[in-house]
Amino acid sequence: MEASSGEQVRHRLSRAGNRRMNHMLHIAATTQIRLDTSGRAYYRRKLAAGKTRMEAMRCLKRRISDAVYRQLLADARAAANGDAGADPGGHCGASRKSSAVDLPPLIDTSDQPLPGPATPTLQPPRQTRNALALRAS
């Protein structure tokens, strides 16, 4: 979509699509820029080539999305070939069974509430001479 005004020529990208996926790609791109990764080097090359920060970020996000898509295709091909090590449902070799325990955790006697109010364990504060003199007057 064109959004030009005067000498400023802009082309707005469509905001249609999976917003959660776009957010995930944005977080991945900002993380790569912060850390010393190949993504940061790519981002800096785009900046050196004259791209704005937003355009360089968009290029990095596209590069990450291409890598994610290639991995999804590779996992789907491996699953179609009967390779049990790759499953599109998660990481390679991940089990679909939950490892969470069904029973609630046992409560130890020290975790149970006491039957009544606790007895005070603090000693009363000592009275100083000044406090005693104030009371006497």
Quick: pLDDT tens for 71-127: 988 888 887 887 655 554 555 555 556 555 555 555 565 666 667 776 777 777 777
Dihedral-angle region of residue 50 (phi above 0 means left; psi in -120 to 50 means alpha; beta otherwise): left
Q: Is the pLDDT of residue 4 over 70?
A: no
Least confident of 3-7, 12-16, 41-45: 3-7
List residues bridging with 8 in a β-sheet.
5
> Would you call 43 exposed, middle or buried from its count of C-beta atoms within 10 A (0-12, 13-18, 19+)?
buried
Quick: pLDDT tens for 36-73: 999 999 999 999 999 999 999 999 999 999 999 999 88
Lookup: tokens for 14: 């469509």
